[in-house]
Amino acid sequence: MSSFVGKEIPQATFAEVPYTPALDDPKACAGPPRKVQTHEAFKGKKVVIVAVPGSFTPTCHGNHAPGFVKDAKKFADKGYDVWIIAANDPFVQSAWRTSLGAKDEVHFATDVDLQFSKGIDATVDASAHGLGIRAARYVLIADDLKIKSLDVEASPGEVNVSSAELAYGKL
């Protein structure tokens, strides 16, 4: 994946239900999702994009996303916004954010049609598990739309190169 380092991030659409305090109640209905165009939203910014194959799945929910939620302030202190993306719909992503105790310190969004993940050749076929094509597990660090680092797991069930700790060390 080092072939993508130095190149521009894919132009893609994310969908996100923005955090509001009402969403702290897991029974609250989320508001309408907003569309986020990567090139508009991330121009001039530093971002850490964390992709997971599926919200609420064992590795994603127990071993991967919690580290980024826990360390969100550390990333912010270095000037980075953290986005956790998946193929799941934005309402599932919103509920997942709530279940992990995150608020607005981390964005939980949908990689609409996997445009972003396909743009960096980071998808996985989970059809054998009834999940279809999903984002691979990866972490991408970008500054003003340029990819500084991209680490994709060899297997979607592993968190060996895409942990919050390793990503933070690359800032």
Q: Indicate which residues carry an active-site annotation.
A: 60
Q: CA angle at residue 70 from 64 to 71, to 5 degrees?
A: 95
The token pair that represents 46 in the structure block: 């530093």
Name the residue among 153, 145, 147 with its Cα closest to residue 5. 147
Positive or negative, the Cα torsion across 45, 111, 94, 1?
Answer: negative
CA atoms of 68 and 170, how far apart (whole Å)? 14
- Kindly give the pairing relationship between strand 46-51 and strand 80-86: parallel
